[in-house]
């Protein structure tokens, strides 16, 4: 079923958003339209012309190379092709996939269990793929009941014969994944908990490749399943508060689904090593990438603009991250940015449900170097607090994270007019900061042009 009209433009916009701003400016000039404005402006201007671009590809009339368009195909989850005709067809397939994702988004945020239990929802989602309800039900059957359908949509796409939007090695959950039962969560662990070694199979399903790091609450490992899917597993240190904290974080993570938020896929327990959560493999932290080198201005803005979108998504779900820092912003080999670590967020939700958070001292694990001033003074984090933390991360990237921790500098001559946008995000009065993290980054970009 071909994509037409506004749906095709919307799908094209989603593909164009994955390009760099400079590439979009070049494309605009190539197509004879204005190249001025922000990245969202360029996307909006170019999306309606996407059909023309695809048509030109077949005769190689575009000034961009086939490698360039294959890069777009690859970013959109397609496969690189040798002939112009095949590249053209791959882009059309990517448009179809984006259209289905838009239809899915319009149906709202529903869990797998909600779809299983509602004939109306099941019929609606089946209609997106033009398959029978029974066929769609079989496609979602393997997944954890608390998973939002957005978080497993890409795997459902592949199962139903569609085209993956993201590379399968990044997002496709294992078919053998199973949920941690409520009985298992409720039962206290009585065996001594020892750290697993490389080669051990967590829960019999995830083989540990190596240890990536450890903290106060547990250890993090690179893991792979029997189908070769790479993931990250968090394993709690012990039987008490660490296990409770990991369960809270994973339960929150299973409710979230956004391309700039690191996804949780599974929560289970291992007979020897205790409770573990399986997450998306999201790459290297900004702390590690920029520890001893400073980022270029446009590089910092591009990376944190993507992070801002993820943080604003959390806020739209009434989730305050509470610990935005370079260590908790990850970027993969394709340059895709995601927010991770919902430890503070899950603590805040837990105390809110039991009477409300009155003092930041009740929260464990936050990074004071990047916390907003009001949080370091003892107040509970708010949306504006996440924005101030993002502003401090921006400063850290311009200096290098090690130097920022020593120097704590928030003024940069090279920012020029953009300094005002940074100052606004760091204002003492939370109410006078930018309306959202995305608007803060747009203001930075506007001042830096």
Q: What integer pLDDT is reported at residue 112 of this predicted model? A: 86
Structure tokens at 98: 């984006």
Write down the pLDDT at residue 6.
Answer: 55
Q: Given a cut of 80, is residue 136 above it in pLDDT?
A: yes
The mean pLDDT value for 47-71 works out to 60
Q: Can you state the angle between helices 119-129 and 84-106, rounded to 10 degrees? A: 170
Q: Which regions of the chain carry the CATH code 1.10.510.10?
A: 284-448
By CB neighbour count within 10 A (0-12 exposed, 13-18 middle, 19+ buried), where does 285 fall?
buried
What lies within 8 Å, CB to CB, of 29 at 6+ separation is 35
Mean pLDDT, residues 209-229 = 81
Task: State the pTM of this model.
Answer: 0.60
The DSSP-derived string for 5-68 is HHHHHHHHHHHHTTS-HHHHHHHHHHTTS---S-HHHHHHHHGGGHHHHHHHHHTT-SSS-HHH
Q: Which of 46-50, 113-117, 417-421 has the lowest mean pLDDT?
A: 46-50
* Arithmetic mean of pLDDT, 411-431: 94
Per-residue confidence (pLDDT) for residue 354, from 0 to 100: 47
CATH number, domain 187-279: 3.30.200.20
Q: CB under 8 Å to 57, separation ≥6 — which residues?
A: 69, 84, 87, 88, 91
**Token digits for 300?**
């910092």
How many other CB atoms sit within 10 Å of the CB of residue 6? 10
The residue ranking higher by pLDDT, 418 or 28, is 418
pLDDT: is 181 or 304 the higher one? 304
Percent of the chain at pLDDT > 90 equals: 28
Q: For the residues 232-254, what does the mean pLDDT come to?
A: 83
- The highest-confidence range among 235-244, 268-277, 350-359, 427-436, by mean pLDDT, is 427-436
With beta carbons less than 8 A apart as the criterion, state whether 33 and 52 touch: no
Of 107 and 53, more confident: 107
Question: Is there a contact between 225 and 207 (Cβ–Cβ < 8 Å)?
Answer: yes
pLDDT for 34: 84
For the chain, give the number of residues.
449
Residue 294: what pLDDT?
94
Any idea what the Cα angle at residue 440 is, between residues 438 and 444, rounded to 5°? 115
- Look at residue 337 and tell me whether its pLDDT is greater than 90: yes
CATH topology of domain 284-448: Transferase(Phosphotransferase); domain 1 (1.10.510)
Name the least confident of 68-72, 124-128, 371-375: 68-72
Q: Which two tokens stand for residue 187?
A: 């039962």
From the DSSP assignment, how many helices (H) and strands (E) are in the chain? 21, 9
pLDDT digits (tens, 9 = 90+) for 349-406: 665 554 554 444 445 556 889 999 999 888 889 999 999 999 999 999 999 999 999 9
pLDDT tens per residue across span 5-40: 455 566 667 667 767 788 778 777 767 778 888 888
- For the chain, the average pLDDT equals 78
| β-strand partners of 337 | 331
Where are the domain boundaries for CATH 3.30.200.20 in the chain?
187-279
Tens digits of per-residue pLDDT, 148-188? 787 777 778 767 755 433 333 332 333 233 344 444 444 44
């Amino acid at each position: 079923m071909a994509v037409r009209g506004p749906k095709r433009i919307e799908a094209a916009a989603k593909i164009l958003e994955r390009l760099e701003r400079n590439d979009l400016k070049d494309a605009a000039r190539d197509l004879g339209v204005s190249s001025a404005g922000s990245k969202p402006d360029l996307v909006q201007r170019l999306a309606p012309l996407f059909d023309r671009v695809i048509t030109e590809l077949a005769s190689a009339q575009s000034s961009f190379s086939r490698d360039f368009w294959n890069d777009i195909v690859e970013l959109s989850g397609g496969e690189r092709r040798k002939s112009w005709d095949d590249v053209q067809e791959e882009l059309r397939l990517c448009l179809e996939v984006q259209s289905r994702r838009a239809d899915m988004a319009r149906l709202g945020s529903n869990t797998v269990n909600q779809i299983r239990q509602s004939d109306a929802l099941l019929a609606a989602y089946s209609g997106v793929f033009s398959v029978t309800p029974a066929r769609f039900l079989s496609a979602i059957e393997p997944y954890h009941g608390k998973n939002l359908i957005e978080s497993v949509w890409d795997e459902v796409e592949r199962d139903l014969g569609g085209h993956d939007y993201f590379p399968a090695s990044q997002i496709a959950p294992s078919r053998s994944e199973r949920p941690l039962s409520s009985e298992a969560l409720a039962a206290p662990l009585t065996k001594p908990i020892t750290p697993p070694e490389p080669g051990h199979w967590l829960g019999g399903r995830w083989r540990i490749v190596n240890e990536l790091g450890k903290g106060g609450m547990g250890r993090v490992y690179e893991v792979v399943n029997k189908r070769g899917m790479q993931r990250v597993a968090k394993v709690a240190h012990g039987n008490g508060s660490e296990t409770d904290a990991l369960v809270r974080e994973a339960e929150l993570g299973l409710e979230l689904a956004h391309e700039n938020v690191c996804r949780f896929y599974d929560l289970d327990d291992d007979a020897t090593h205790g409770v573990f959560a399986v997450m998306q493999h999201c790459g290297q932290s900004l702390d590690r990438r920029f520890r001893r080198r400073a980022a270029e201005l446009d590089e910092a803005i591009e990376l944190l603009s993507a992070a801002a979108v993820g943080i604003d998504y959390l806020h739209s779900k009434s989730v305050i991250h509470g610990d935005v820092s370079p260590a908790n912003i990850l970027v993969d080999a394709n340059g895709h940015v995601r927010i991770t670590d919902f430890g503070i967020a899950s603590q805040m939700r837990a105390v809110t449900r039991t009477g409300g958070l009155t003092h930041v001292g009740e929260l464990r694990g936050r990074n004071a170097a990047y916390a907003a001033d009001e949080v370091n003074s003892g107040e509970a984090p708010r949306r504006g607090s996440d924005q101030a933390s993002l502003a401090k991360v921006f400063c850290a990237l311009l200096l290098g994270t090690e130097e920022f921790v020593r120097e704590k500098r928030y003024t940069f001559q090279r920012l020029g007019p953009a300094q005002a946008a940074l100052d606004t995000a760091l204002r003492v009065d939370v109410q006078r900061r930018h309306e959202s993290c995305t608007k803060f980054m747009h203001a930075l970009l506007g001042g830096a042009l």
